[in-house]
Amino acid sequence: MGTEHFDATAADWDRDEQKVVRAQEVARSVATTVPLSQGTRVLDYGAGTGLVTQALVGQIGPATLADSSSGMRGVIRDKVAAGVLPGARVWDLDLEAQPAPDERFDLIVTSLVLHHIRALERVLAGFAELLEPGGYLCIADLDREDGSFHGHDFDGHHGFDRVELAGQLTDAGLVDVSVRDCTEFVRDGVTYSVFLAVARRPA
Ligand SMILES: C[S@@+](CC[C@H](N)C(=O)[O-])C[C@H]1O[C@@H](n2cnc3c(N)ncnc32)[C@H](O)[C@@H]1O
């Protein structure tokens, strides 16, 4: 999938209050579900402008924010320079096209990204590889929807079936898979539910 849309919307992304609040709700859901500490090495994959990590600052250790959009990475870099994301690293990473870097994380968070990913199996395998044994993967994304969320030109996933995704996480070698309600998204008067899927790399 091209990065043009996200490159073009990056500068104004945080002006949408709903996006900010939704990211805070995802972060809250992560923080109440998995153990966090000042030592937790976090990868925020498809971080966008870094809103989810921003909401976790103070509760986590070193953060790495990865995104395939140069526009989004530019906004993250500005936030790092301004002290909003203290000490964070920024990665140009697309696991659909690139191998997983040789690094390990205690927590991978990926919020509203997976429905844009065509090579899901490859990306989930990349997450499994990037996790420290015992580390957690948290996926926030849309429940299965009728395609109205993005409109007719969108060629990604129309949300996910929770049971099907849980099976894909298991197939990727992850364990302790669970899926819970996380937050909601209102667009054009329609409410779309967002789940949080949690899984671990075997210890
Ligand atoms: C809907 S935004 C969500 C941003 C952020 N996670 C949040 O919750 O505010 C999706 C983000 O995923 C990024 N993205 C899409 N496909 C990607 C891929 N294959 N690899 C890395 N990032 C990707 C986009 O550039 C965009 O920043």
The CATH number given to whatever domain includes residue 191 is 3.40.50.150
Please state the domain count of the chain.
1
What is the pLDDT, as a whole number, of residue 1?
Answer: 63
Of ligand 1's listed atoms, the one at least distance from the Cα of 44 is: 6
The domain of 13 spans: 4-200
What is the pLDDT, as a whole number, of residue 155?
Answer: 81
Q: What are 98's two structure tokens?
A: 């690139």
Calculate the average pLDDT of the chain.
96
What's the average model confidence in pLDDT over 171-194?
95
CA distances from 97 to 3, 118, 139, 160, 171 (A): 13, 11, 20, 22, 20
pLDDT exceeds 70 at position 198: yes
The per-residue pLDDT for range 24-38, each reduced to its tens digit, is 999 999 999 999 999
Q: How confident is the model at residue 152 (pLDDT cuts 50, 70, 90)?
A: low
Contact residues of ligand 1, CB 6 A cut-off = 1, 3, 6, 19, 23, 46-48, 51-52, 67-69, 72, 94, 96, 111-113, 116-117
Q: What pTM value is reported for the model? A: 0.97
pLDDT exceeds 80 at position 136: yes
> What count of other Cβ atoms lies within 10 Å of the Cβ of residue 25?
20
pLDDT exceeds 70 at position 125: yes
Interior CA angle at 133 toward 128 and 138, to 5°? Answer: 50
